[in-house]
Structure 1
């Protein structure tokens, strides 16, 4: 099924990767917003916000998350980049991105992906009075600086229960940030594991039907990545 703009989550050879990556991260950020007492809307078309899309690409017609706080509307878009040496991708833009990112120091690829999204959506969104939030990560679990700033802002909005005294407010906010960072880290690792499985499955399929069945559906749950509780961010 495709919407009038040709929804890319159900089209193309990478639809499984795109759907899992996008939907899981989108849902998690909405969960974090809800914990911060912010009601959010998912997959909002820019035209519904009276915002002109940056181009005619079907992928550019909508924004991941939209919310309003104290009369200020905000839009959020999330992106993942892959800072590895070039592979045998038939898509030229993928080869170029990988080649460029492979020469960067740690974290630079995510920062550049954040800037690219900001340059793409920022001017048109801000011109209509909305706040633009762009969050980016790379497949090695390195996050662009805006992610931590975003979590800190939401942590300050997180309601503190009466059981927690005011004297422990700072440590409470720190624990909230660590908890959210762990959730984001786990979600990104699941995407990375799915990416490995997807590449292996496609390679096996190219070698014949017998090899394609060698990878069970529970490949992700068995490996190669294991859950951990170490936070990516330190408050």
Structure 2
């Protein structure tokens, strides 16, 4: 996802760097978490320093999850604001320190179901304004030209998000397969897909196998 945002920045004539350590920018990380020590993307737009951090939130968790946070997430997602909540979490974490150091912080948030945060869309609109309009497109069609750019970028981001979702599901399925046996599928409470309780493989009772089908009586 970060690579695609870097590509979009390049299309808007904005050079950028990825995985920039906060200490190199004169910013003190908020905690000792390794993921908090760097910023996903650093760029300069019209003389202003920008810090961009990508985050992807899932709108729901298994309804019967024993983790209280999952039930809280489900209640929040009913209002369709997971992307906005993810933006707020990032702003609360990085915003004050970034602003104090003279940077503009923009969280690039998305939901796994495809909704993008308002900050992300506003940022894309700003980048679209920087895109040079070909001379073959008349001035009166400038608005439509900018909208077509945003639509193009949105489509690219949607495809990248689907790839991310597919990777997450596949990796968790592999972990679940490795855990088959006496362990339950709920051993991975953070899974995006709820597989339900573990059901051991059992041999069907005599007479329940018919022409290759297993009938559950």
**TM superposition score normalised by structure 2:** 0.78
Among residues 107, 110, 130, which one is paired with 1:137 in the alignment?
110
Any conservation in 2 of the 1:152–1:177 contact (CA below 8 Å)? Answer: yes
Q: Which residue of 1 aligns with 2:23?
A: 47
CA distance in 2, matches of 1:148, 1:176: 12
Q: Which residue of 2 aligns with 1:213?
A: none
Compute the RMSD of aligned alpha carbons.
Answer: 1.8
Q: 2:2, 2:64 → 1: CA distance? A: 29
Q: Which residue of 2 aligns with 1:222?
A: none
Counting helix residues as a fraction of each chain, which structure ranks higher? Answer: 1
Q: Which residue matches 1:70? A: 46
CA radius of gyration, larger in = 2
User: Quick one: distance in 1 between partners of 2:157 and 2:26?
Assistant: 31
Query: Which residue of the partner structure matches residue 184 of structure 2?
Result: none
In structure 2, how many angstroms separate the alpha carbons of the residues matched to 1:35 and 1:146? 19
Secondary structure in 2 matching 1:103: helix
CA deviations over 1:171-230 (Å, ceiling 9, x no partner): 11010000001111111111111122122111111127xxxxxxxxxxxxxxxxxxxxxx
Unaligned runs of 5+ in 1: 1-24, 209-235
Task: Identify the residue that residue 126 of structure 1 maps to in structure 2.
Answer: 99
Unaligned stretches of 5+ residues in structure 2:
182-217
1:84 and 2:57 are equivalent in the alignment: no
Q: In the alignment, which of 73, 77, 81 is matched to residue 101 of structure 1?
A: 73
Secondary structure at the residue paired with 1:136? strand
- Partners of 1:134 and 1:48 in 2: how far apart? 20
Question: Does the Cα contact within 8 Å between 2:51 and 2:106 map onto a contact in 1?
Answer: yes
Give TM-score, length-normalised by structure 1: 0.72
The reply to whether residue 35 of structure 1 matches residue 7 of structure 2 is no
| Match of residue 179 from structure 1 | 152
Aligned residue pairs total 180
The separation in 2 between residues aligned to 1:108 and 1:54, in whole angstroms, is 25
Structure 1 counterpart of 2:87, from 101, 114, 122:
114
CA distance in 2, matches of 1:111, 1:138: 9
